[in-house]
Structure 1
């Protein structure tokens, strides 16, 4: 038996600063010519001008491919050749780069050496070109044939004592077809251990919406934004995370709608917007977006909404029911009287103080909401990643239900999903819980019994690996180590595995922090042509608003030894079952139309997907849109009672929220700038209120360590430059994944188990340089 070699891996990479750090004033608008310049700069640098322009002209078009970045929906009539944003262009350039890493690169560089690079530097090495294995006795990846890679996976899966010692993680970049096959293979193996990226981001949304409206998805469509009277954007930064959303907000403003921003930071994308797809967006003035900015303290959204509801309730009583939609409340909801009684116990002054919002702005907001009923509420991680993340969302749903703003045009819920198909993964069966109806359909159409024991979510998977209760960890895309909380604990967990497998397009830190043996299986990108048996294939995805559409890559794959995700998964399954199973794995891996036939039969709501997904696609059923709450208690939408958060900060502690820079998408770092916030050539920065800086004896550009202490375990993030910023006193912000090391894996939202990445209690320590 080969002796396992000890690998000295840097878990986080370098923790030092650039020599060229530059801090400027934050930008006063998003978009405009800088967005176009940056989009083209990245595209041409990575892909070349000809290939880059071809890709951009096809992205998000009816006959093209779906953007590999965020899940914002496409309009019914996409702008010819220009239906993309700066982030989408960066994502395309990053995926379709001409840079590559193969066997010679890994022969020259050990995993130890590579781990000393930053996440930005790792990503910039380019596309993975061939299957690679890191053997138990080695520090270097070596080439391996596809067949031998499949045999290695099958061998390790056969060694485990129980199917529940295998874990199958899914990233939101996969297609419906790949995710469906992946979930079916996990179940055919005998486990529901299917953690996915939703566990770390929007799980709180799914739980809260299921509890209140009976469906874990939003209820609005893109066109609803155009004539909405009020759009509330809470805990979300669309200028950086979902730039195409700004065009929809611009239309809303043009039609007389009002926009309310609720966020500890005043983000450029919600201050004003220059549409880069219009001439006036280059030459004219910016369009002001947020009419009201409510600068709430971190995770004090419930205090703010309770204050608004309390004021609206009083106005409703004074006007004899002229503020709330009592017909809607009576016909479709349950719990109004309990909510009204609960609101009475709260003192408005205390709610105002806890929220941290200016009193005059609360009055203005109340007056606006009292008169409007076409209200959309959008949110992202700023609401979900807290101990009370589920309650945050339920409280906002209360506001919509009292206003009758569900199930009608221009009103409803809008959880803005991150990665492009994270919602689709769930719809086709990627989840760790047991769904009896799904299991019955699997047995009827695939001929095997799916497991009936609940599997591990992300938090539980990390713990299981850490305790030695999981031996094989397979990742369909993503960068699990850097996406998860508690980086050092997660790294220890992964390194306990016998085998880790990464199905990936590019190099990242999860390829370096591995099990005893590790595989990298290189896959096609979204933009690349996928041919199986001489026939071009297409895939499907589901956007943030529940629409399924096709996606067909057209760029010639740069490297000849890449395989598609469906093909890889099917061949792993076929090898494990020795070609003898009730599921026709080989056929499915080479004919995606056959996969879609099974999706239609097994996954809820899918119907004639082969035909209906063409063009701009079709919507899956949505009971909240139809005001059908029959699957909820008494057939009613649930108005809920939610408690205020309790943080119990010590005298030396402040509240830290993790954020993205403008030059990243999820854990992928495109560059080292955040021009919207005025930070250039650096990521290890800590945004602080100037009064907090003064009380801590800190000056601009001082260096600090950040510490968190949960359950008497101290976690530390080293060497951050202090930057004065417009953020409420007692609040701070810093980029992830650099600060994920501070987030304890075992502190998470109630019921959803989403990590508390947006409300971490920390203290800071000045470093004498």
Structure 2
């Protein structure tokens, strides 16, 4: 094998960053990747049905679909995600006989996933050097026996990625709870848990409060914070263009200037192909990494000051009086803040902040969108509470064109939480499960993702099951996580492709290959479909169109229900009819209808083109299901990570050629990086002060108390980012994130604010 397959590559070329996104290059890159992976026939069959009412939901991001679908209702990265899944390349027994696990561990993650789709169940038995095929019956019995023989149900952990459907997620949480545990960590714990924590406390529901129409038809000001939609949610650019053409203003707040928010060249418009496209952001605020809390504290203080000046009123006092509490305390907190500190922490001067407030005061309806640039800091929950304050002050909750918009990452991460994938379930949900299924679910809170790693590390977990995802690579403190997985007696990965987690298994490790979103799901001769929930609470169906890549593949639902059937049985006296649910997903949806609020007449409503929207009390009726029945204005003193002299604050980011831990290619053309991923973006002034030249090779060393972690072999790239800040790609830099460095309240890893220093490589 070439050395380049074993060593993460350093870029072969660095060019100037782009100032516009998509256009003809986006089309060409989509088609090149799709044709190479799928060929012309599969490309036509998949992309023509992607995100259409009679097709399948994109397995990538959770951006909502418009009512009126275009023929090509997908983006570049969505096309890559489908091509990655629907590839013609397959790997089976011959591949694993040829490659021992020790050799596969040396390969890059890009190489591992590029080998193709898994085609049959595989077992790495204790002491073995190679995975070998096993039957589904053997694999299912092994999992069921391991769970049955646990000394305590809490010695099992059931991880979920946001790719799982509503039906799969529901039966998965049911399996865990019938076993007797709430150990249901999921990818939301690492990404948007801070959003859910803050919004549940302040508004009474841990979801966004806007619809796609609020953005495209009604919002007068759209504020996009800590988000790069051009790479992570490219179809959002179309919605922003629609809003812009209608007259909305857009403000981008981010440490890095992102091409998609500068100018969008819509490939479905002539002006996007032949012209310059549409300028999106009217204002760009280059906030320091972790400076968003200070920024919104400053903005809220300015709003209060203007309201109390001769130019007032600026605040919506009727709304504040009728629907909120805590205003007097919050006002006192803002007026007690120190301007020099606010400016230093945010990296913005007062004039810039005043100009932004001018935009705010001029707008009757405001939406704030954010993603992981806000959710992965120690003060993330406080920051999102402060953004909620910002909207509440002018009544921007519960009216058209206004509200909170946390933009979720994976395609059904929000739906999985709705279905009960949560380590701290509400008592009402557990009561409904008991009524529906006749057993008493456990009430003790379980482990989230970080606590699951700690428990495995400490020898408190014997069985780990992963429903999708790449746990070893997605989580923080990579070396600790890998060692923790290896302490388990059995690890089970339900997967479509080979990844790092399969190579860091327990004493015994199973790989159970599952159908992809693009493939037909036939059970007992009847074609099944599943459902998903997008970022804006729309629930719709998804039906694969390709034949299964192997006759050994099973759906996630079928795999989970087979484990349940083997473990608990499915006779007339059994609490849960596992076998019946696995053969007919309508039975699962009927249970969901009885257990989960908002899913009444599920089967009938999901038949409607586009599906249906779930209730959202703040959006629908300005009702707030908090402890007081009112929205909470909160006090969030501004704080920010401070780096010692000679150090920087590093944020992890995605390249344009990846989605989460999946690396499609080695380019990030919007940032000018070609042929590799081992780069660190640093302000030019910081490089001069530290005597490091642009293009030099360095190790990145993170500092956490007395502990240090090292990521070696990165090329320095001088880049436009605030002084004292830096950025590098994950998952390569997840090794730098201490397991115990987490957000207050949400326990989310602080992947966006890591104190590091750069050490030049010698020789």
TM-score, normalised on structure 1?
Answer: 0.97
- Residue 6 (structure 1) aligns with: none
- Residue 189 (structure 1) aligns with: 179
After superposition, the Cα gap between the structure-2 partners of 1:692 and 1:15, relative to the gap in structure 1 and judged at 3 Å, is farther
Q: CA deviation at 1:315?
A: 1.4
8 A contact 1:94–1:670 mirrored in 2: yes
Alpha-carbon distance in structure 1 between the residues aligned to 2:601 and 2:76: 34
List aligned pairs for 1:283-362, cutoff 5 A: 283-319=274-310, 321-362=312-353
Selected match of 2:394 from 400, 403, 419: 403
- Residue 213 (structure 2) aligns with: 223
Alpha-carbon distance in structure 1 between the residues aligned to 2:221 and 2:681: 30
Q: CA deviation at 1:461?
A: 0.3
Which stretch shows the higher mean deviation, 596-605 or 419-428? 596-605
Pair 1:611 & 2:604 matched: yes
Alpha-carbon distance in structure 1 between the residues aligned to 2:90 and 2:6: 23
Q: CA deviation at 1:709?
A: 2.3
Selected match of 1:756 from 738, 750, 754: 750
- Residue 251 (structure 1) aligns with: 242
- Residue 207 (structure 1) aligns with: 197
- Residue 17 (structure 1) aligns with: 9
SS of equivalent residue, structure 1 residue 254: helix
Alpha-carbon distance in structure 2 between the residues aligned to 1:430 and 1:324: 39
List aligned pairs for 1:533-544, cutoff 5 A: 533-544=524-535
Which stretch shows the higher mean deviation, 576-585 or 182-191? 576-585
Which stretch shows the higher mean deviation, 642-651 or 663-672? 642-651
In the TM superposition, what whole-angstrom CA distance separates every residue of 1:238-266 from its partner, at most 9, and x where no partner exists? 00000000000001111110000010000
In structure 2, runs of 5+ residues without a counterpart are none
- Residue 559 (structure 2) aligns with: 568
Pair 1:728 & 2:737 matched: no
Pair 1:480 & 2:474 matched: no
List aligned pairs for 1:451-490, cutoff 5 A: 451-490=442-481
After superposition, the Cα gap between the structure-2 partners of 1:520 and 1:367, relative to the gap in structure 1 and judged at 3 Å, is same
Cα-Cα RMSD:
1.3
- Residue 7 (structure 1) aligns with: none
8 A contact 1:13–1:115 mirrored in 2: no
In the TM superposition, what whole-angstrom CA distance separates every residue of 1:540-590 from its partner, at most 9, and x where no partner exists? 000000011000111111211100010000001111124453100000001
- Residue 393 (structure 1) aligns with: 384
Selected match of 1:132 from 99, 103, 122: 122
8 A contact 1:292–1:361 mirrored in 2: no
In the TM superposition, what whole-angstrom CA distance separates every residue of 1:429-481 from its partner, at most 9, and x where no partner exists? 11001321111111111111101111000011000000000000000000001
Alpha-carbon distance in structure 2 between the residues aligned to 1:110 and 1:715: 29
In the TM superposition, what whole-angstrom CA distance separates every residue of 1:321-367 from its partner, at most 9, and x where no partner exists? 42111111111111111111111112323312221124433222111
SS of equivalent residue, structure 1 residue 741: helix
- Residue 4 (structure 1) aligns with: none
Q: CA deviation at 1:16?
A: 4.8
Q: CA deviation at 1:631?
A: 2.4
Q: CA deviation at 1:754?
A: 0.4
Alpha-carbon distance in structure 2 between the residues aligned to 1:35 and 1:361: 34
Which stretch shows the higher mean deviation, 331-340 or 392-401? 331-340
8 A contact 1:685–1:735 mirrored in 2: yes
In the TM superposition, what whole-angstrom CA distance separates every residue of 1:724-761 from its partner, at most 9, and x where no partner exists? 00001100000000000010111101110000000001
Alpha-carbon distance in structure 2 between the residues aligned to 1:446 and 1:89: 40
SS of equivalent residue, structure 2 residue 421: coil
8 A contact 1:47–1:93 mirrored in 2: yes
SS of equivalent residue, structure 2 residue 716: strand
Alpha-carbon distance in structure 2 between the residues aligned to 1:501 and 1:633: 40
List aligned pairs for 1:495-644, cutoff 5 A: 495-579=486-570, 581-614=574-607, 615-644=609-638
TM-score, normalised on structure 2?
Answer: 0.98
- Residue 178 (structure 1) aligns with: 168
8 A contact 1:212–1:397 mirrored in 2: yes
Alpha-carbon distance in structure 1 between the residues aligned to 2:69 and 2:243: 18
Selected match of 2:424 from 413, 426, 433: 433
Q: CA deviation at 1:320?
A: 6.2
Q: CA deviation at 1:644?
A: 1.6
8 A contact 1:294–1:358 mirrored in 2: no
Selected match of 1:714 from 708, 712, 719: 708
Q: How many residues align?
A: 756
Alpha-carbon distance in structure 2 between the residues aligned to 1:216 and 1:47: 38
- Residue 262 (structure 1) aligns with: 253
After superposition, the Cα gap between the structure-2 partners of 1:372 and 1:749, relative to the gap in structure 1 and judged at 3 Å, is same
Alpha-carbon distance in structure 1 between the residues aligned to 2:245 and 2:313: 27
Alpha-carbon distance in structure 2 between the residues aligned to 1:13 and 1:205: 38
8 A contact 2:173–2:421 mirrored in 1: yes
Pair 1:695 & 2:689 matched: yes
- Residue 699 (structure 2) aligns with: 705
Selected match of 1:33 from 1, 4, 24: 24
Which stretch shows the higher mean deviation, 287-296 or 316-325? 316-325
8 A contact 1:434–1:453 mirrored in 2: no
- Residue 645 (structure 1) aligns with: 639
Alpha-carbon distance in structure 2 between the residues aligned to 1:13 and 1:632: 53
Task: Spell out structure 1 runs of 4+ moving beyond 2 A.
Answer: 12-18, 319-322, 347-350, 358-361, 578-581, 626-631, 646-649
8 A contact 1:129–1:522 mirrored in 2: yes
- Residue 146 (structure 1) aligns with: 136
Q: CA deviation at 1:373?
A: 2.4
In the TM superposition, what whole-angstrom CA distance separates every residue of 1:263-303 from its partner, at most 9, and x where no partner exists? 00000011110001222210111211110000000011111
Alpha-carbon distance in structure 2 between the residues aligned to 1:662 and 1:107: 34
In the TM superposition, what whole-angstrom CA distance separates every residue of 1:702-730 from its partner, at most 9, and x where no partner exists? 11111112242211111100000000110
After superposition, the Cα gap between the structure-2 partners of 1:252 and 1:540, relative to the gap in structure 1 and judged at 3 Å, is same
List aligned pairs for 1:97-108, cutoff 5 A: 97-108=87-98
SS of equivalent residue, structure 2 residue 72: coil
After superposition, the Cα gap between the structure-2 partners of 1:250 and 1:319, relative to the gap in structure 1 and judged at 3 Å, is farther
8 A contact 2:345–2:640 mirrored in 1: no
In structure 1, runs of 5+ residues without a counterpart are 1-11
8 A contact 2:345–2:639 mirrored in 1: no
8 A contact 2:5–2:111 mirrored in 1: no
